A and B are shown apart, each in its own frame.
Chain A
Amino acid sequence: MSANTPALENKKTMGMGQMKSVILALLLDTFLWTYVSLVLYKIIYEKMILGLRFPDFTWNQPITALVVGGLITLALFFTKFSIGRATQGLYDLDENKSIMKEPFTLLGLFIVFLTFIAGLYVSQISIREFLSQSGLTGARRIFTALFQPNLGILEPALFAAVETIYMAFIATTLALPFAFLLGFFAARNLMNGSRLGLAIYYIVRFFLNLTRSIEPLVWAIIFSVWVGIGPFAGMLALMIHSISSLAKLYSEQIENISNGPIEAITATGAHPVQVIWFGVVPQIVLPYLSFTIYRWDINVRMATVIGLVGGGGIGTMLMQYQGLAKWNEVGLLVIVIASVVWVMDYASSKIREAIK
């Protein structure tokens, strides 16, 4: 008797699920056909055939395309040209026939091809400009200067590089305690015990994703207005980004630990603090260390980029010389940056290997 009940429930949810997949399939098909008709009109007709460089855009066009796409979807939804039905598993496919020969696969390949052609036009790829006379002269001038770096500014360049490394180190260190705490709150296996825990989990996750999706470059611009241009602004930008990235990595590490040692230590009658110290910590401490060192390495590289928008260090120096078109000095800075990045990369991978 007990075996019957789940089967009945299954059938019910199947009906609901089927409905959902048909709707999803329809939406996906409509989107794809709208996309195809819009791209065909804008890129192939207007740009390639009429040769317009900057064609007009009005909202009528996508709306018309949506109608056209909807009509094509209705016409072709029950043929084998429906990608939506294919992705939702609504076809009864012949298993002996290769999926590459199905009409919807060919349609999918056509859409990828269309996107490639459109991409070429949108990126304004031009071999002519790449090989033009004036362009090549300019390139030659920059490269000659870059390969004759001005060693006179080696000293300030090295100081600026040291500033960058220290800035990245402080950003990582200050991010560490915040990330450590948030990591526990963002670990699903620790938080799903209660409704409150789960709510905290979702809120923390949301803010981590939000801060992480804003580039450090943008944070640096915000903070350079807030605290003024300089290493402090860059450090704050790196710190914010490091907190969210590290907290995410830490929480994933906590989610992956094995329950066994925790069970075993609990079974000895140990205190909860001892259970965490002997059951959880030995499993996370090395991955944590490894992530943190890797983060420092990333931060050194990012600190250079952040310097370009006024985050201090060698990046700011690079921006200044580039603005003055002093290419010999820029050449030296590029060499210094490349060596620092290379050394950091090498050291961090060696350290991470050693502590595994």
Chain B
Amino acid sequence: MLEVRNLQKVYDNGTHALKGVSFDVKQGEFLVVIGLSGSGKSTLLRCINRLHDPTSGAVNFEGEDITKLRGARIRSVRSRIGMIFQHFNLIPRRTVLTNVLSGSLSKTSVLKSILGMWPEEDKIKAKQYIDIVGLTGKENIRADNLSGGQQQRVAIARALMQNPKILLADEPVASLDPATSHSVMQYLKKVNEELGVTVICNLHFLSLVRQYASRVIALKGGELIYEGKPLDIDENWFKTIYGEEAVEVTIN
């Protein structure tokens, strides 16, 4: 459902973040992207929903190259791709409900959304998603008063509100403690398996990769150097991806 072809990204400051990356993502996969910091993982995800514009190459989403779309058409593509972030990126000082409802902005008119006139069925849907991520009863709490793990679950609910085909997760557990990390990963797995949403997720910890990924790709210096099953990453591959000095850290 998603084809990335020879994707290149050069930033204005000259950094060559992606050097011709190609891969396919199939419906229902849980694809994990691994690699060192600065290897281009975040850039890759942001090129898929065009938060960054790729320099060249193609991203075919549901049969359409989205790299050149503008205005309303790229917004329509974005609305079908959910995204969650390392630092959650919720709207500060707004309630959990408003944050989840903001996932439906693309189909709410500008004026109505600014006046806070959300459709009744969207509100019901938002409450259902809040239930799904286990935050029942916290609708009217300010999002920035929640703990990190809870904020990430609000972010998941916001993404689900878009009714996405793909969920992009940019290091979703990198600022969470081990226990909370697993809980958030469990919710992502649930979204993947029960709601059938394809997940593309950047991760740091190989132990999490082995536990949750259905397939893995690895980036190094902007190039794709590994593609395969999570359990096939042995000692040698590990050293290739993370460098000779690296030692694996496990998180339980």
Contact = CB atoms under 8 A, between A and B. Distances in A.
A51 to B, nearest CB: 65
Interface in B24-83: 49, 51, 75-83
Contacts of B181: none
A278 B102 contact: yes
A336 B15 CA distance: 63
Contacts of A286: 93
A285 to B, nearest CB: 8
Contacts of A260: 85, 87-89
Contact of B114 (A261, A268, A277, A279): A277
A103 interface: no
Nearest to A265: B102
B150 interface: no
A342 to B, nearest CB: 31
Interface string A258-280: 00110111111111011001110
Contact of A269 (B75, B90, B94, B158): B75
A233 to B, nearest CB: 39
Contacts of A21: none
B162 interface: yes
B78 A261 contact: no
Contacts of A279: 91
A72 B22 CA distance: 68
A261 B105 contact: no
Contacts of B76: 269
Interface residues of B, number: 32
A35 B87 CA distance: 54
B113 A277 contact: yes
B251 to A, nearest CB: 24
A108 interface: no
B92 A282 contact: yes
Interface in A267-320: 267-271, 273-274, 277-279, 282-283, 286
Does more than half of chain A's interface fall in helix, strand or loop, or is it mixed? helix
A268 B102 contact: yes
B78 A268 contact: yes
A278 B94 CA distance: 9
Interface residues of A, number: 19
Contact of B79 (A264, A268, A273): A268
Interface in A91-138: none
Contacts, number: 77
B78 A264 contact: no
B155 interface: yes
B85 A270 contact: no
B90 A261 contact: yes
Nearest to A2: B16
B103 interface: yes
Contacts of A277: 113-114
A286 B94 CA distance: 12
B113 A264 contact: no
Contacts of B117: none
| Interface-central residue, B76, B80, B82, B89, by most chain A CB under 10 Å | B89
A282 B91 CA distance: 7
Nearest to B111: A273
Given A268-B106, A268-B162, A274 B92 contact: no
Interface in A237-267: 260-261, 263-267
A314 to B, nearest CB: 38
B102 A271 contact: no
A79 B102 CA distance: 67
Interface in B95-134: 102-106, 110, 113-114
Contacts of A278: 91, 94, 102, 105, 113
Interface in B132-166: 155, 158, 162
A144 to B, nearest CB: 55
Nearest to B94: A282
23 contacts: A263-B85, A265-B105, A266-B51, A267-B49, A267-B78, A267-B81, A267-B82, A267-B83, A268-B82, A268-B104, A268-B105, A269-B75, A269-B78, A269-B80, A269-B106, A271-B110, A274-B105, A274-B110, A274-B113, A278-B91, A278-B94, A279-B91, A282-B93
